């Protein structure tokens, strides 16, 4: 019976009772789910909105802005700024912070978000999503500045994403496991369909934009080379590769059946240590993955421990099934210690610095 299912609204209220979480946080999550329903509706209309193509604008990241990026950004701002739960907001689509308008009360939390992730997929009707992370505003700070948002991922109090795919979903953590809710369009409510998601420690699936391989560091080349070598190589098993170009969709697949996702450090643009943004892409996803038993790393450091130095900072991201992430950490450490031996890579047709066995 659908009405026997737990709605997201009920889940967060029961979590509040059980974990003694403040009502403010719960009310904020409620506003976020409202925003995600509006965005789901806007995205589902697809080409009918006339909002396909580009806006001609470039955002703070130097990327082309789609009309729905801006619509989704406005929806999240408008749905969450009035409630009295937030002291401030920051988004991928805004260079500066979004202060709470003076007519609304101030709250204790900070919201950082990517209103539409994977938006290059919009024109081809592929899965996109909204990513969000909630932090506490430092005690006594009513008008937060950028420095107050620069908290490591370990400080998050809620993180999650909304997925706009064949069905719309919301997946979130309040620090007590990861739970997935499917939007029932008939009643306009998210229903708990995927409680206690867990990521298996091992996998035979990896996701990486392989067109960047010439820019990768040797430990990443080594890892991918070994996966591609499959049963005939040191891994002794075949791997499958996926790339959706939408982090929300990749992380969702990993939460459903395991896998390894990475957008590692590369030398494409020396000013950018990675592609993905720390505060509103990497950190919320890293916490979800850890809460589901997986791991998330830069290759050299636990992602959640990275101390941010800028609002729109980019970071290398390696996350998913624990044993694969740890393997990549070992490969980075060995490379940094200079312990790798010269190796001829038949795949990349060049000498690299891998050593033989794992």
- The least CB distance from residue 4 to ligand AHG, in Å, is 35
CB of 179 closer than 8 Å to CB of 167 = no
Size of the site for Mn ion (CB under 5 A): 4
What are φ and ψ of residue 132, in 5° steps? -140, 155
Give, as ranges, the residues between 97 and 136 that touch Mn ion (CB under 5 A). Answer: 114, 116-117
> Pick from 337, 334, 338: which is nearest to 223 by CA?
334
Distance CA 192, CA 196 (A): 10
- The least CB distance from residue 250 to ligand AHG, in Å, is 6
Distance CA 128, CA 22 (A): 31
- Closer of 40 and 191 to ligand AHG (Cβ): 40
Instruction: Determine, following the binding rule CB under 6 A, whether residue 228 of this chain makes contact with ligand AHG.
Output: no
Give the list of residues 6+ apart from residue 132 with CB closer than 8 angstroms, or none. Answer: 32, 76, 111, 112, 113, 114, 158, 159, 160, 161, 280, 284
Distance CA 82, CA 103 (A): 8
- Number of H helices and number of E strands within the chain? 8, 17
Given Mn ion, ligand AHG, none, residue 324, with its beta carbon under 5 to 8 Å by kind, binds: none
- Closer of 36 and 334 to ligand AHG (Cβ): 36
Instruction: Determine, following the binding rule CB under 6 A, whether residue 117 of this chain makes contact with ligand AHG.
Output: yes
- The least CB distance from residue 143 to ligand AHG, in Å, is 28
Give, as ranges, the residues between 248 and 267 that touch ligand AHG (CB under 6 A). Answer: 263
Distance CA 19, CA 26 (A): 11
Give the list of residues 6+ apart from residue 232 with CB closer than 8 angstroms, or none. Answer: none
Give, as ranges, the residues between 192 and 211 that touch ligand AHG (CB under 6 A). Answer: 209
DSSP state of 141: -
Instruction: Determine, following the binding rule CB under 6 A, whether residue 247 of this chain makes contact with ligand AHG.
Output: yes
Q: Per CB under 6 A, which region of 110-118, 179-187, 323-331, 335-343 contacts ligand AHG?
A: 110-118
Q: Of 275, 314, 322, 327, which one interacts with ligand AHG (CB under 6 A)?
A: 275
- The least CB distance from residue 93 to ligand AHG, in Å, is 9
Q: Of 15, 81, 92, 290, which one interacts with ligand AHG (CB under 6 A)?
A: 92
Angle at 136 between CA 133 and CA 139, to 5 degrees: 165
Q: List residues binding ligand AHG (CB under 6 A).
A: 63, 92, 114, 117-120, 209, 245-247, 263, 275
Binding residues vs Mn ion (CB under 5 A): 92, 114, 116-117
């Amino acid at each position: 019976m659908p009405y026997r299912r737990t709605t997201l609204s009920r889940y967060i209220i029961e979590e509040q009772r059980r974990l003694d979480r403040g009502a403010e946080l719960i009310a904020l999550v409620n506003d976020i789910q409202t925003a995600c329903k509006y965005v789901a509706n806007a995205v589902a209309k697809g080409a009918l909105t006339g909002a396909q193509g580009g806006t001609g604008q470039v955002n703070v990241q130097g990327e082309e802005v789609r009309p729905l990026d801006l619509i989704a950004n406005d929806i999240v701002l408008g749905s969450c700024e009035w409630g009295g739960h937030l002291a401030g907001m920051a988004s991928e689509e805004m260079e500066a912070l979004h202060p709470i308008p003076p007519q609304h009360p101030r709250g204790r939390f900070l919201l950082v978000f990517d209103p539409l992730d994977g938006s290059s997929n919009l024109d081809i009707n592929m899965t996109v999503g909204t990513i969000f992370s909630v932090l506490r505003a430092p005690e006594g700070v009513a008008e937060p500045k950028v420095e107050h948002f620069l908290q490591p991922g370990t400080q998050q109090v809620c993180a999650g994403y909304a997925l706009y795919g064949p069905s719309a979903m919301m997946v979130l953590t309040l620090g007590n496991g990861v739970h997935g809710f499917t939007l029932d369009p008939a009643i306009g409510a998210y229903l708990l369909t995927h409680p206690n998601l867990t990521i298996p420690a091992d996998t035979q699936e990896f996701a990486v934009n392989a067109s960047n391989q010439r820019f990768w560091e040797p430990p990443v080349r080594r890892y991918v080379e070994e996966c591609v070598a499959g049963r005939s190589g040191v891994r002794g098993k075949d791997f499958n590769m996926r790339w959706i170009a939408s982090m929300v969709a990749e992380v969702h697949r990993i939460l459903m059946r395991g896998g390894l996702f990475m957008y590692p450090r590369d030398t494409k643009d020396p000013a950018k240590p990675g592609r993905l943004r720390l505060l509103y892409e990497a950190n919320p996803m890293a916490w979800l993955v850890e809460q589901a038993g997986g791991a998330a790393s830069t290759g050299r450091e636990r992602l959640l421990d990275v101390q941010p130095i800028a609002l729109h900072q980019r970071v290398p991201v390696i996350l998913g099934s624990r044993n694969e992430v740890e393997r990549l950490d070992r490969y980075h450490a060995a490379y940094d210690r200079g312990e790798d031996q010269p190796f001829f890579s038949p795949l990349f047709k060049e000498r690299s610095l891998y050593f033989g066995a794992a």
